[in-house]
Amino acid sequence: MEVAGVLVMQPTSLDPNPTAGSARAVSILARSLFRQMREQGYSAAEIIGLSSELLDLVSSDLKRDRTQALADAAE
């Protein structure tokens, strides 16, 4: 799906083990986002900054999930 000229990936499931198809979709999304950012004049450093922010968000999300799972197990 494309929104405002940006390719948007819709999650197809909550399965933590991605299939080859979803891994391919992620790869396509990454290439598309990278290409669009470069075309819009973003520098390599800015793209790396975005990547770092995304990793921080994922890390925080995983920590929150782990904390919740531990709390649920303690009940």
The angle subtended at Cα 14 by Cα 74 and Cα 19, nearest 5°, is 125
Number of domains into which the chain is organized: 1
The structure tokens 């405002």 sit at 4
Q: Which domain covers residue 31, as residue numbers? A: 18-74
The 10s digit of each residue's pLDDT in 16-61 is 666 778 989 999 999 999 999 999 999 999 999 999 999 999 999 9
Q: Do 25 and 10 meet the contact criterion of CB atoms below 8 Å apart?
A: no
Phi, psi of 13 (to 5 degrees): -160, 170
Enumerate the β-bridge partners of residue 6.
Answer: 3
In a domain, 11, yes or no: no
- The pLDDT of residue 3 is 56
- With cut-offs at 50, 70 and 90, classify the pLDDT of residue 14: low
Q: Is residue 60 assigned to a domain? A: yes
The answer to whether position 38 is within a domain reads yes
